Amino acid sequence: MGKSQTLGVFRNPKPSNLEPWDSPPTLYGFKGGDLLGVAERLDYLQELGITAIYFNPIFQSAANHRYHTHDYYRVDPILGGNEAFRELLDAAHTHGIRVVLDGVFNHASRGFYPFHHTLENGAASPYLDWFYFDKERLRAGKRLDVPHEIEDDAFWQEFRRVVKAANPEAYIVGEIWGDAHRWLQGGQFDAAMNYVFNRACLGFFGGEHLDTTQRPGGFKLRPLSAIQFARAIDSLLALYDWQVTLVQLNLLGSHDTPRFLTLVQGCASKQNVL
Q: Which residues are part of the catalytic machinery? A: 145, 175
Residues 6+ apart with CB under 8 A from 189: 147, 156, 160, 172, 173, 174, 180, 183
How many C-beta atoms surround the C-beta of residue 265 within 10 A? 11
Three-state SS for 62-130 is CCCCCCCEEEEEEECHHHCHHHHHHHHHHHHHHCCCEEEECCCCCCCCCCCHHHHHHHHHHHHCCCHHH
Nearest of 151, 133, 155 to residue 142 by alpha carbon: 133
What b/e readout covers 227-242, taking b as 16+ CB neighbours within 10 angstroms? eebeebeeebeebbee
**CB within 8 A of 158, min separation 6: which ones?**
none
Is the CB of residue 195 less than 8 Å from the CB of residue 219? Answer: yes
Measured distance CA(65)–CA(146) in Å, rounded: 15
